[in-house]
């Protein structure tokens, strides 16, 4: 990647991606954008980003391509084939997939990119819509350390806790650790709130007492107020959390690791999806738990 500010292509402008791309644009980078639903790029184009008609068009014109899409299938679609990023990226370019996806897919992208003289990182994030908006995401990266160091100034526009985890796929494995911890914690947060309300307590006062103690967590501090207010808009979609838990369960099985809390959490979120709540935020689990 060239030493002056690289031209950055950003693919995937959803709840997270739009804010992440906006923070890059604010820093003065030339930004090219693509999204399947073009209208989601309107606010960025109005601020100076340039629309491109395909992932291939993004790749041809960028020094660094960042993707933040929904599912592993979406990642495969934009990276592989004649119209994919890898086939059309210039030699010496860098590709960074920030989607939460399969570690094995991150390794496949790395290997195919390397054959063409392209550098690759997997760098999933945590921190939800608030972290994306404020540029305070946790970024967990896998790939070559030298490439990570080169992209670090761009990562710092989107996150605060930025850690290189090791070889290709390590970022995705680390994100699975993150999602496993969240899955168990979300059940506890929802049960806590249901208990507080059944006991006749003021839930806001309960939160004030416990969020800075041993029970403290990001989910407790950031999602409990939304639950109290009946706000189930997505900072992170139920459907995407189910996707992540499926990946984690698959990886755990391959390592012969039993994860009972993860299995239980997934079964609860599956019920929510069957109720048509896949597009709600993960905090909607409170609705299900408070019924019982």
**What is the pLDDT averaged over residues 52-73?**
97
pLDDT at 243: 96
What the chain holds in terms of domains, given with CATH numbers, is 8-167 (3.40.50.720), 173-289 (1.10.1040.10)
CA distance 158 to 127: 11
pLDDT, position 292 = 77
Cα separations (Å) of 204 from 151, 219, 285? 41, 15, 18
Q: Evaluate if residue 1 carries a pLDDT over 70.
A: no
Q: Single out the residue of 180, 178, 189, 182 nearest to residue 260, CA to CA.
A: 180
Query: Taking all residues of the chain, what is their mean pLDDT, rounded to a whole number?
Result: 96
- Enumerate the H helices of the chain as residue ranges: 17-26, 42-46, 55-61, 72-79, 85-88, 103-115, 128-134, 145-158, 170-198, 203-210, 218-228, 238-254, 260-274, 285-289
Question: What is the pTM (predicted TM-score) of this model?
Answer: 0.93
Contact 137, 131 (CB under 8 A): yes
- Percentage, residues of the chain above pLDDT 90: 96
Average pLDDT value for residue range 192-203 = 98
- Distance of alpha carbon 292 from alpha carbon 287, whole angstroms: 10
Catalytic center residues:
175
CA distance 94 to 155: 13
């Amino acid at each position: 990647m060239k030493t002056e500010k690289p031209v950055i292509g950003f693919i995937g402008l959803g709840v997270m991606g739009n804010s992440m791309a906006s923070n890059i644009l604010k820093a003065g980078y030339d930004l090219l954008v693509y999204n399947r639903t073009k209208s989601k790029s309107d606010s960025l184009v109005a601020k100076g980003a340039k629309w491109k008609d395909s992932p291939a068009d993004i790749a041809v014109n960028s020094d660094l391509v960042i993707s933040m899409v929904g599912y592993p299938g979406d990642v495969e679609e934009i990276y592989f084939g004649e119209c994919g990023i890898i086939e059309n990226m210039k030699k010496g370019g860098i590709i960074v997939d920030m989607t939460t996806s399969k570690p094995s897919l991150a390794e496949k992208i790395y290997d195919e990119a390397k054959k063409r003289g392209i550098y690759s990182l997997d760098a999933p994030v945590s921190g939800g819509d608030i972290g994306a908006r404020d540029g305070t995401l946790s970024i967990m990266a896998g790939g070559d350390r030298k490439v990570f160091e080169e992209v670090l100034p761009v990562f710092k526009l989107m996150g605060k806790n930025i850690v290189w985890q090791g070889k290709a796929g390590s970022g995705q494995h680390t994100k699975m650790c993150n999602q496993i911890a969240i899955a168990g914690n979300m059940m506890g947060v929802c049960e806590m709130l249901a208990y507080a309300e059944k006991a006749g307590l003021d839930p806001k006062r309960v939160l004030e007492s416990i969020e800075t103690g041993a029970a403290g967590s990001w989910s407790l501090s950031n999602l409990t107020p939304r639950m109290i207010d009946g706000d189930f808009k997505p900072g992170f979609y139920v459907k995407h959390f189910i996707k992540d838990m499926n990946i984690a369960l698959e990886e755990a099985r391959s390592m012969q690791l039993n994860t009972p809390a993860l299995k239980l959490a997934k079964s609860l979120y599956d019920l929510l999806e069957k109720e048509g709540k896949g597009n709600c935020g993960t905090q909607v689990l409170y609705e299900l738990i408070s019924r019982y």
